[in-house]
Amino acid sequence: MKISSTQWEGFRNLKPRRLEWAEGLHLLLGPNGSGKTNILEAFHVLTGWGSLRGERTADLRSWTDPGRGTFLSASFDGEDSLEVKVGIGARIVAKKGGSSLRSSQLRPLVPSLIFLPNDLSLVEGSPATRRRLIDRLCALLFPVYALRLHEYGRALRQRNASVRMGRNLAATARVMAPLAAWIWACRLTAVDLIRNGLEEGEGLLPPGVMLELKRGGRGLEDLHLDFWESLEAGQKQERATGVCPVGPHRDDLVIRFQERDVARCFSRGYRRRVAIALLLSSGWAVERKMRRKPILLLDEVMAELDHEGREQLIAVLLRTGWQVFATTAEDCTPDWPGRVWSVEGGRVDEG
């Protein structure tokens, strides 16, 4: 899919404006604080993902021009063609053709993948950073995934509360088990797809980078049984620490190169490339499984790569044929093979 036009009003610091977007690569260039990330966030909201990093919805509305309301709209085309309108009040309400649409319904229609500066430290960061990559893909591939993951988190909090109160733990285990097994099955599928996708990103990485989902269980093949057995085995520890040591919340994505953990054996620049390659692989997974080209939102990704890394990334992006929006504060790509937009004080202009 691609975004063909957008319009915003009262959103963050962005000046009201209607814009047409061609397919291919777009570079948003502007000084710090000009509104580049806000533009990506607008696209993020328009594709069903809400505010960035779970910030409060109220913060999306302009501080300086609060009275007139906050609206976003976009036309998408490509594999399908649709119009999305979003109103941001106490909640974010998306509509397609006049009827409202849940975000779990919107996301697969216009699949987008975002990459934020923090995601660059995916390799050496916490397991949560790596789980987020998998979860984003799962949320696109399996419409109820986000909801189930949320329910699992709630069940887990109920269990931790039960442990602290010294209650019987059987009921929470029964609620968690089917959710855990289901989430594991989804994540295994997603990691398989990302692994296949990695092969397409050749150039960015040396061949031989291996991926594996390390489940927060004992690793039995039967996911359901694995959860029960692991839970039982971990109960002593759980009673002692008050935290459930078993389940999808303890999963990690293990990334190896020649049997070694890449967090240790790769240089900083190469760890960045691994992170980007994983995002691109998610994109390929989306394209293959959903038969829709993803829209990529890349915030400050070029800044951390060397000249060669940038050239290779751009070459790979061009090959994909996806619509890409990349931001940068400094023009480090004089030969950007796409459009360049200048962003200044919330105003966007081509040039």
Partner 1 sequence: MSISEPVEKLMKLFSRFPGVGDKTARRFALFLLQQPGEFSDELASTISLVRENTFPCSICGNLTTEDPCPVCSDPFRDRGILCVLENVEDMISIEQAGVFSGLYFILGGRVSPMDGEDLAPERIAKLREYATGGGFREIIIATNPSVEGDLTFYAVLDSLKTTGLRITRLAFGLPLGGTIGYADRVTLHASIESRVDVRVPDRNGERKE
Ligand X SMILES: Nc1ncnc2c1ncn2[C@@H]1O[C@H](COP(=O)(O)OP(=O)(O)OP(=O)(O)O)[C@@H](O)[C@H]1O
Closest Cα to residue 190, out of 137, 147, 248, 143?
137
Stretch that binds ligand X, among 19-27, 62-70, 123-131, 258-266 (CB under 6 A): 62-70
Beta strands in the chain (DSSP E): 2-9, 17-20, 25-29, 70-77, 82-88, 92-96, 99-101, 112-115, 209-214, 252-257, 260-261, 295-299, 323-328, 339-344, 347-350
With CB under 8 A, what is the number of residues at the site for partner 1?
29
239 binds partner 1 (CB under 8 A): no
How many other C-beta atoms are found inside a 10 Å radius of the C-beta of residue 18? 10
Q: How far is the CB of 299 from Mg ion (least distance, A)?
A: 6
Q: Report the C-alpha gap between 172 and 156 in whole angstroms.
A: 8
Residue 221, Ramachandran bin (φ over 0: left; ψ between -120 and 50: alpha; else beta)? alpha
178 binds partner 1 (CB under 8 A): yes
Please check whether residue 314 is in contact with residue 337, taking contact to mean a CB–CB distance below 8 angstroms: yes
Beta bridge partners of 84: 74, 96
**Binding to Mg ion in span 30-69, by CB under 5 A:** 37
Which CB, 35 or 294, lies closer to ligand X?
35
- Of 6, 25, 35, 42, which lies in the binding site for ligand X, with binding defined by CB under 6 A? 35
Please check whether residue 160 is in contact with residue 243, taking contact to mean a CB–CB distance below 8 angstroms: yes
Beta bridge partners of 213: 253
**Binding to ligand X in span 274-333, by CB under 6 A:** 329
With CB under 6 A, what is the number of residues at the site for ligand X?
16
Please check whether residue 344 is in contact with residue 31, taking contact to mean a CB–CB distance below 8 angstroms: yes
**Binding to partner 1 in span 117-146, by CB under 8 A:** 144
22 binds partner 1 (CB under 8 A): no
Question: Which positions from 180 to 209 touch partner 1 by CB under 8 A, shown as an x/- string?
Answer: -xx---------------------------
How many other C-beta atoms are found inside a 10 Å radius of the C-beta of residue 103? 15
Which CB, 147 or 315, lies closer to partner 1?
147
Q: Which positions touch partner 1 (CB under 8 A)?
A: 144, 147-148, 150-151, 154-155, 157-158, 160-162, 165, 167, 170-172, 174-175, 177-179, 181-182, 224-225, 228-229, 232
Q: Which positions touch ligand X (CB under 6 A)?
A: 12-13, 30, 32-38, 59, 61-64, 329
Q: Which positions touch Mg ion (CB under 5 A)?
A: 37
